[in-house]
């Protein structure tokens, strides 16, 4: 681990100022990902700005009837909050499917959005990795890539985004609130994370001097017909091979609205609006679900060890839709 300095920001303006004045500074809150990366010599910040006392730790109603989740609220507090559990059970279930109780007690909502990939080669500093060292190459392309992406990949990176929480937020169409020295802006969740393209080292559309202040949930939470399905190698503390977040609005046996997001298959939570459109107005049956699943994986590409994920994703989508429609 490289030497670094430390300071504790007293308010939002101070935090933004400190990060703006040092391009090698990083915010730290729960530290459940950043500290690991520093220990592994993957990330080398020279200064850490502690933001745990900025007062971003509330869950509140929005004027539109949704919920505003403070960025410093822990994952555990979010999942067990009465309004989240009742109105957004898809999100609560996704959070509880991730990590371990100890990590959920420390990890923050803002940090969850910004966690880095769990690619083996990203963590192995003895191997080339374009996310760690742009231009060095992607070892996963021809290496051990069982956990890697099958959608939205590029010749520069096939890593996956590891978050469970973010898959549910994508399906719910949340909005990320961020602040910089000039003010606040809102980022639709679909636009927050990036596909790798030729800049896989840039994970999110967040400027270096910006801080996440909140995640806003819309009024509709799909509390009646939902499912978060996580397929993994073991029952606990394992990242998804494939995960599926489903939210449906039903009228009898007919699907009136559908949201569908996948995790473990791409560099960001993956939505396919064409697949969702194939569900709307159609009966909630296996034939409808299979058409949507086939559309989602139509452009999928395996890289050897992870080719099984294509069929796994197809089956997981059908299963999740079937369970959500009950």
Instruction: Give the per-residue pLDDT at 255.
Output: 98
Task: Report yes or no on 302 lying in a domain.
Answer: yes
Task: Report yes or no on 78 lying in a domain.
Answer: no
Largest CA distance in the chain: 61
Instruction: Give the per-residue pLDDT at 1.
Output: 83
Task: Report yes or no on 11 lying in a domain.
Answer: yes
Burial of 39 (0-12, 13-18, 19+ CB in 10 A): exposed
Instruction: Give the per-residue pLDDT at 276.
Output: 98
How many domains is the chain built from? 2
**CATH number, domain containing residue 42:** 3.30.43.10
39, 83 in Cβ contact below 8 A?
Answer: no
Task: Report yes or no on 24 lying in a domain.
Answer: yes
Q: How far from the centroid of its chain's Cα atoms is residue 39's Cα? A: 23
Task: Report yes or no on 176 lying in a domain.
Answer: no
Instruction: Give the per-residue pLDDT at 295.
Output: 98
Instruction: Give the per-residue pLDDT at 237.
Output: 87
158, 145 in Cβ contact below 8 A?
Answer: yes
**CATH number, domain containing residue 244:** 3.30.390.50
93, 263 in Cβ contact below 8 A?
Answer: no
Tens digits of residue pLDDT in 10-32: 999 999 999 999 999 999 999 99
Strand 59-61 vs strand 67-70: parallel, antiparallel, or unpaired?
antiparallel
Instruction: Give the per-residue pLDDT at 22.
Output: 95
Residues of the chain with pLDDT under 70: none
Task: Report yes or no on 73 lying in a domain.
Answer: no
16, 22 in Cβ contact below 8 A?
Answer: no
Instruction: Give the per-residue pLDDT at 235.
Output: 87
Burial string for 287-323 (b: 16+ CB within 10 Å, else e) reads ebbbebbebbbeebebbeebeebbebbbebbbbbbee
User: How many CA atoms lie less than 13 Å away from 246 in the CB half-sphere?
Assistant: 30
The residues, ordered by sequence, that sit 6+ positions from 73 with a Cβ below 8 Å of its Cβ are 56, 57, 58, 59, 108, 109
Cα–Cα distance measured from residue 182 to residue 265, given in angstroms and rounded to the nearest whole number? 36
Instruction: Give the per-residue pLDDT at 307.
Output: 98
CA-wise closest residue to 70 among 52, 49, 50: 52
Other CB atoms within a 10 A radius of the CB of residue 110 amount to 25
Instruction: Give the per-residue pLDDT at 81.
Output: 98
Task: Report yes or no on 244 lying in a domain.
Answer: yes
The residues, ordered by sequence, that sit 6+ positions from 182 with a Cβ below 8 Å of its Cβ are none
Cα–Cα distance measured from residue 155 to residue 316, given in angstroms and rounded to the nearest whole number? 27
Q: Where are the beta strands (DSSP E) in 195-282?
A: 211-217, 225-231, 242-251, 254-263, 270-271
Other CB atoms within a 10 A radius of the CB of residue 167 amount to 30
Provide DSSP, 161-176.
Answer: ---SHHHHHHHHT-EE
- Tell me the two tokens of residue 22: 């040092």
- Tell me the two tokens of residue 253: 């046996």
Three-state DSSP class for residue 246: strand
Tens digits of residue pLDDT in 144-176: 999 999 999 999 999 999 999 999 999 999 999
Task: Report yes or no on 175 lying in a domain.
Answer: no
Domain hosting 11: range is 5-50
Tens digits of residue pLDDT in 114-150: 999 989 999 999 999 999 999 999 999 999 999 999 9
- In this structure, the dihedral spanned by the alpha carbons of residues 6, 12, 20 and 132, taken in order and rounded to 10 degrees, is 70
């Amino acid at each position: 681990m490289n030497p670094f300095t430390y300071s504790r920001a007293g308010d939002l303006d101070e935090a933004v100022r400190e990060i703006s004045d040092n391009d090698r500074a990083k915010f730290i809150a729960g530290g459940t990902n950043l500290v690991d990366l520093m220990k592994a010599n993957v990330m080398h910040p020279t200064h850490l700005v502690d933001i745990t006392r900025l007062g971003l730790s509330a869950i509140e109603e929005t004027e539109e009837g949704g919920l505003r989740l403070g960025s410093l609220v822990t994952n555990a507090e979010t999942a067990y909050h009465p309004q989240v559990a009742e109105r957004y059970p898809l999100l609560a279930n996704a959070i509880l499917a991730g990590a371990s109780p100890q990590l959920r007690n420390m990890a923050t909502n803002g940090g969850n959005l910004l966690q880095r990939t769990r690619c083996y080669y990203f963590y192995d500093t003895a191997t080339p990795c374009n996310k760690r060292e742009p231009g060095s190459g992607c070892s996963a392309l021809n290496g051990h890539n069982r956990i890697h992406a099958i959608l939205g990949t590029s010749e520069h990176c096939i890593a996956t985004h590891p978050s469970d929480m973010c898959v549910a937020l994508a399906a719910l169409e949340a909005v990320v609130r961020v602040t910089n020295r000039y003010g606040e802006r809102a980022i639709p969740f679909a636009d927050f994370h990036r596909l790798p393209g030729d800049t896989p080292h840039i994970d999110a559309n967040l400027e270096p001097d910006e801080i996440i202040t909140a995640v806003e949930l819309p009024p509709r939470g799909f509390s009646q017909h939902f499912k978060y399905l996580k397929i993994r190698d073991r029952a606990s503390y394992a990242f998804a091979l494939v995960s599926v977040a489903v939210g449906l609005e039903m009228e009898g046996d007919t699907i009136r609205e559908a949201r569908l997001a996948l995790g473990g298959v791409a560099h960001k939570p993956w939505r396919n609006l064409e697949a969702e459109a194939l569900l709307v107005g159609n009966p909630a049956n296996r034939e409808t679900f299979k058409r949507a699943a086939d559309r989602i994986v139509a452009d999928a590409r395996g890289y050897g060890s992870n080719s099984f994920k294509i069929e796994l994703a197809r089956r997981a989508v059908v299963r999740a839709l079937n369970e959500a429609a009950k």
